[in-house]
Amino acid sequence: MKAGFVAMLAALALTGCGLAGPSDRQVLVDACVADGESEATCGCITTAMEKNLSPELFKKTADAVGRDKKDMMTFVGELTVQEQLSFSAVLGDMFACSLTGEPAE
């Protein structure tokens, strides 16, 4: 019995099992809500970013804006031109989310 419990703990440690903290997505939604937007709008905006940004840029955004609490405009201003262009491609969807709480069709 004791060996089974230890094996289960080891498996949980190896898989992470959500113990590493909130996901990048949740960190961004939480930061957005803290900034005064609704949960629906923030979920929509985060979905648009997750869908259209590279995984690396999405994580970089979550780290800077969500975890380090950096202002979004300051963060975007510090990105490379290529990364800024990636963000500009998402702006239409993000704006539609702000208006409707739903992604653009």
Please state, in angstroms and rounded to a whole number, the distance separating the CA atoms of residues 86 and 55.
12
Q: Specify the residue for token string 């995984």.
A: 55
Q: pLDDT per residue over 48-104, tens digit each?
A: 999 999 999 999 999 999 999 999 999 999 999 999 999 999 999 999 998 876 655
Length of the chain as a residue count: 105
What is the average pLDDT across 20-27? Answer: 93
Task: Please tell me the predicted confidence (pLDDT) of residue 98.
Answer: 84
Q: pLDDT per residue over 4-20, tens digit each?
A: 433 344 444 444 455 67
Q: Specify the residue for token string 């239409």.
A: 92
This prediction's pTM: 0.76
Task: Please tell me the predicted confidence (pLDDT) of residue 74.
Answer: 95
Please state, in angstroms and rounded to a whole number, the distance separating the CA atoms of residues 14 and 31.
29
What is the average pLDDT across 34-47? Answer: 94
